[in-house]
């Protein structure tokens, strides 16, 4: 059954929350490959206005874009420049587009490393070895999607502040300074102030301070619950 964009957004948020919880429990990202893959597929479906493949382990591709492109999605949580992403060259015949994503485990947001046609991606791949070709992560530069193209998935108002979560997990804050809403940067101090007013913890279960994404998500969830409660 096809998922609506709202269902994809909700599923992505739930998957990111579960991933973050596992990290807080001390599970290394390398042990969360399946969850990383799921997050990447949901995010790719979201940004391409598409759908995930209808079959588990669909040959070659993971997502079909809104324009009908078959997309192979690879997701990593490796933060260093090392490592690589492997492909089965025979499966690439089933694909028109390749998206490589990274989950930034420090800020808990998704970064796009590559979004290219198969032909463009092949030019970055190594020679075939043991039936695989690969792209070294060191060859990929992080690309930031223009802010104007990022969708807001949740936003709330509280104490003259607008707190917004974007599709890549980043958090924005705007505050009314008496002359209209103004963007606040960095957002962390205002989020901490709001968290105190809402009696929310400023640290996680391990005693470490919440980062901007974590704190913003907590604040948004609490305000949303209060407004519907």
Tell me: the pLDDT tens digits for 45-75? Answer: 999 999 988 765 566 789 999 999 999 999 9
pLDDT digits (tens, 9 = 90+) for 155-201: 999 999 999 999 888 899 999 988 889 999 888 899 999 999 999 99
**Based on the domain organization, do 126 and 36 belong to the same domain?**
yes
**Based on the domain organization, do 30 and 135 belong to the same domain?**
yes
Q: Does the pTM of the predicted model rise above 0.85?
A: no
**Based on the domain organization, do 183 and 80 belong to the same domain?**
no
**Based on the domain organization, do 154 and 134 belong to the same domain?**
no
Domain of 185 in residue numbering reads as 147-228
**Based on the domain organization, do 59 and 96 belong to the same domain?**
yes
**Based on the domain organization, do 85 and 42 belong to the same domain?**
yes
Pinpoint the alpha helices (H) of the chain. 5-24, 33-47, 118-122, 188-197, 212-228
Last residue of a domain, one of 105, 139, 173: 139
Last residue of a domain, one of 116, 139, 162: 139
**Based on the domain organization, do 174 and 106 belong to the same domain?**
no
**Based on the domain organization, do 82 and 151 belong to the same domain?**
no
**Based on the domain organization, do 128 and 26 belong to the same domain?**
yes
Over 60: is that where the pLDDT of 143 sits?
no
- More confidently predicted of 141 and 68: 68
Q: How far apart are CA 170 and CA 188, in angstroms?
A: 12
* 71 strand-pairing partners: 63, 97
Compute CA distances 168 → 43, 47, 49, 59, 198, whole Å: 8, 9, 14, 27, 25
Which pLDDT belongs to residue 108? 77
**Based on the domain organization, do 151 and 135 belong to the same domain?**
no
Last residue of a domain, one of 90, 121, 139: 139
Pairing, β 70-76 against β 97-104: parallel
Pairing, β 152-158 against β 133-136: unpaired
CATH number of domain containing 49: 3.40.1350
**Based on the domain organization, do 122 and 46 belong to the same domain?**
yes
Which pLDDT belongs to residue 211? 83
**Based on the domain organization, do 182 and 115 belong to the same domain?**
no
For 205-224, what is the mean pLDDT? 85
The number of domains in the chain is 2
Q: Which of 75-89, 112-126, 206-220 has maximum average pLDDT?
A: 112-126
């Amino acid at each position: 059954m096809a998922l609506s964009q709202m269902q994809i957004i909700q599923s992505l948020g739930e998957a990111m929350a579960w991933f973050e919880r596992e990290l807080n429990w001390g599970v290394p990202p390398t042990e969360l490959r399946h969850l990383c893959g799921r997050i990447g597929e949901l995010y790719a479906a979201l940004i391409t206005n598409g759908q995930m493949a209808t079959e588990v382990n669909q040959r070659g591709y993971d997502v079909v874009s809104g324009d009908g492109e078959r997309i192979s999605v690879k997701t990593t949580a490796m933060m260093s420049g090392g490592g690589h992403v492997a492909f089965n060259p025979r499966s690439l015949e089933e694909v028109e587009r390749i998206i490589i994503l990274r989950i930034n485990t420090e800020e808990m947001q998704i970064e796009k490393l590559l979004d290219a046609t198969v032909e463009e991606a092949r030019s970055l791949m190594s020679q075939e070895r043991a039936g695989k070709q690969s792209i070294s992560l060191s060859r990929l530069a992080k690309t930031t999607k223009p802010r104007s193209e990022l969708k807001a998935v949740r936003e709330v108002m509280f104490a003259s502040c607008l707190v917004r979560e974007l599709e890549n997990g980043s958090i924005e804050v705007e505050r009314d300074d008496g002359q209209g809403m103004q963007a606040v940067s960095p957002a962390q101090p205002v989020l901490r102030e709001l968290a105190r007013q809402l009696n929310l913890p400023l640290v996680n279960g391990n005693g470490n301070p919440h980062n901007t994404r974590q704190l913003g998500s907590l604040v948004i969830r609490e305000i949303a619950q209060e407004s519907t409660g």
